[in-house]
Amino acid sequence: MKLELAKGDITQEATEAIGNAANSRLAGGGGVDGAIHRSGGHEIMKELREKYRGCPTGSAVITGGGHLKAKYVIHAVGPVYSGKPKDAELLAGAYQASLELCSKHRIRSIAFPSISTGVYGYPVREAAPIALNTVKRYLTSHSEIERVRFVLFDDQTYLAYQEVYSKFQM
């Protein structure tokens, strides 16, 4: 298993799947969600509308990748930050559900954004350990997933994840 960090644009990743920080209506939006839909084309939204009627917070659904390099997009719905303990459970659930979809669909590599830390307001220093620990825990018992890469958009987010990652024994 391999867990990596990178700074960049997730829409350019060539992993088998990329994670999308989606909203519960699966209606497209700004930030990562908007970038993925713009780069991937209308096929992604068409598939979402045909297959799903939304997605609960803490869960995920899967579509094809449209025009992206990635074959799949896993649309994970993280929480809008409220400062309540349930936020951490829901954020971990979004990553867990995404990884379960990878296992189910035999996806060996995925790139994740930092879910919920943009417009949903989750403090990145709180979100990073939840994201990384959830993924690390899942990978210890699921060798079918060979690579998970966190693709982080800006320096602040990358540094917060790097701080947590540097303490891992991989």
Give the Cα separation of 107 and 71 in Å (integer).
9
Q: Quickly tell me which residue has 């979004």 as its tokens.
A: 94
Active site residue 9: no
What residues form DSSP beta bridges with 110?
Answer: 17, 148
Query: Phi/psi zone of residue 5: left (φ > 0), alpha (ψ -120 to 50 degrees), beta?
Result: beta
Give the Cα separation of 147 and 4 in Å (integer).
8
CB distance 36 to 44 below 8 Å: yes
CB distance 76 to 89 below 8 Å: no
State the catalytic residue, choosing from 33, 87, 154, 155: 33
What does residue 127 show for φ and ψ, rounded to 5 degrees? Answer: -75, -40
CB distance 4 to 109 below 8 Å: no
Q: Which residues are catalytic?
A: 33
